[in-house]
């Protein structure tokens, strides 16, 4: 399965232990991880500015993600969906551009959509339940 992880999931995975870290480990081991330059930039900014991690550590995290995931570009055409936050359009566009089967996010506005085209939108817990119930 091709899995696109939103910034909030990655920040939680690298800044804390818990469900999001488990999701990242599972994606690394069993799925195709898709990311975008938009997500990598947000990840770097949030880990540095909000979480306060040292820049060297943040660079290592971003480089790790870049090496482990396929960095996809956005689709040329934006999805036709109503979203409150314009930044969410970029996330959807990047995930669709990477042919993701699933977008994993904690963003309530995105989660309300549930599905865009063939791509499901799930919480980290929803993704975990999906992949562990298939075993």
**Complete domains list, the chain, with CATH:** 2-133 (3.40.50.1010)
What pLDDT, on the 0 to 100 scale, is given for residue 135?
A: 60
pLDDT tens for 84-106 read 888 888 899 999 999 999 999 99
What pLDDT, on the 0 to 100 scale, is given for residue 80?
A: 58
- In order of 50, 51, 107, 117, 133, the CA distances from 4 in angstroms are 22, 22, 13, 15, 20
What pLDDT, on the 0 to 100 scale, is given for residue 79?
A: 62
Residue 44 backbone class (left: φ over 0; alpha: ψ -120 to 50; beta: rest) = alpha
What pLDDT, on the 0 to 100 scale, is given for residue 125?
A: 97
What pLDDT, on the 0 to 100 scale, is given for residue 78?
A: 64
- DSSP letters of 23-79? HHHHHHHHSEEEEEHHHHHHHHHIIIIIS---HHHHHHHHHHHHHHSEEEPPPSS--
pLDDT tens for 49-88 read 999 999 999 999 999 999 999 999 877 776 657 788 888 8
pLDDT tens for 14-24 read 998 899 999 99
Question: Is residue 26 a contact partner of residue 131, using CB atoms and an 8 Å limit?
Answer: yes
The tokens of 7 are what?
């910034």
């Amino acid at each position: 399965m091709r899995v696109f992880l939103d910034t909030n999931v990655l920040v939680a995975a690298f800044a804390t232990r818990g469900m999001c870290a488990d999701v990242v480990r599972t994606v690394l081991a069993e799925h195709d991880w898709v990311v975008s330059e938009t997500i990598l930039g947000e990840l770097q900014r949030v880990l540095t500015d909000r979480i306060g991690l040292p820049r060297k550590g943040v660079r290592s995290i971003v480089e790790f993600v870049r090496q482990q995931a396929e960095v996809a570009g956005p689709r040329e055409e934006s999805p036709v969906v109503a979203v409150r936050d314009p930044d969410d359009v970029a996330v959807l566009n990047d995930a669709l551009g990477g042919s993701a089967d699933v977008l994993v996010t904690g963003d309530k506005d995105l989660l309300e959509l549930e599905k865009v085209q063939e791509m499901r939108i799930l919480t980290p817990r929803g993704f975990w339940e999906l992949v562990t119930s298939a075993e």
